[in-house]
Amino acid sequence: MVECLLEVRPATLCRSDTSIEAFHSAEALAGAIASAHEESDALFAVVLLHQLAAFLDRRFKAGLGTFTPESSQPACEEYRAAQRLAIQRGFDGVGVPQPTGIVYSRADFVNEYWHPTATESRLDFQYYEHDLSRLNDVLVESFRFTKDFEARTGFAPAGWATFFVTRPEKAKKPFGVYSGGPGVSFSFDPFCANPVDPLWQEFSRAYNQLAIHTLGATPSPTQTQWLRPGDVTIPAKLARPRFTTEYYQQFLG
């Protein structure tokens, strides 16, 4: 028997202002993202770190509502379709419109995935959670690491998905990723359109060590690949032996 309690609240609309911006340094890029976060009700960014540029989606509350208004069409539908395709294809060869002032139902922008064939471009990513206070350090050190790797191998991730989450008190989510107590976390997730690219895998293994052990990131056992013992700990009381594979057993603590 499983019991759950649902919380229901009125649906609200969202307004987005999007833009692509370039910067002269990693510090300037970090400062712009911090400012955009402070000025918005919510922020989603795709950081083109090796190019010192970012796609910024500044989001604002737009009042109660359930459906995307006709006044935001067709711009909203064009943006929704482009965003869906970009996520499915790992942003490979997909142009993203830059609408300003579109108002929409958030339900219309739930990510939609697909079942690609082995040879098709598809999103692969690494997940890292950081406290907001580390934003500048994370971007600056990640930029340095990425440019060094690119100079040596010719490879850099296609981009870094960045979003922000307000953490509740730890008692409300004692075992989740966002369980460090009240505050704001941001994810900084490199992604690639080819999961089997050897250089992407080499980059991810090496970046794990920088992100986790130098920059203090919290990885996800199920969303951060190529982890090693000591990178993450899974509370043993959460793991059922018959569901715990050999890979996950090495992280139990």
Render pLDDT for 100-131 as a digit per residue (tens, 0 to 9): 999 999 899 888 888 888 888 999 999 999 99
Domain residues for the domain of 239 are 12-249
Q: Is residue 40 part of a domain?
A: yes
- Residue 63 reports pLDDT greater than 80: yes
How high is the pLDDT of residue 39?
97
Q: Is residue 4 part of a domain?
A: no
How high is the pLDDT of residue 1?
65
Q: Is residue 1 part of a domain?
A: no
Q: Is residue 29 part of a domain?
A: yes
**pLDDT band at 93, cuts 50/70/90?**
confident
DSSP state of 154: S
Task: Give the chain's domain count.
Answer: 1
How high is the pLDDT of residue 175?
67
Distances from the Cα of 171 to the Cα of 76, 178, 180, 237, angstroms: 39, 11, 10, 16
* Dist. CA 135–CA 31, nearest whole Å: 9
Q: Is residue 2 part of a domain?
A: no
Q: Is residue 7 part of a domain?
A: no
CATH number of the domain bearing residue 144 = 3.40.462
Q: Is residue 3 part of a domain?
A: no
- Residue 137 reports pLDDT greater than 80: yes
Q: Is residue 90 part of a domain?
A: yes
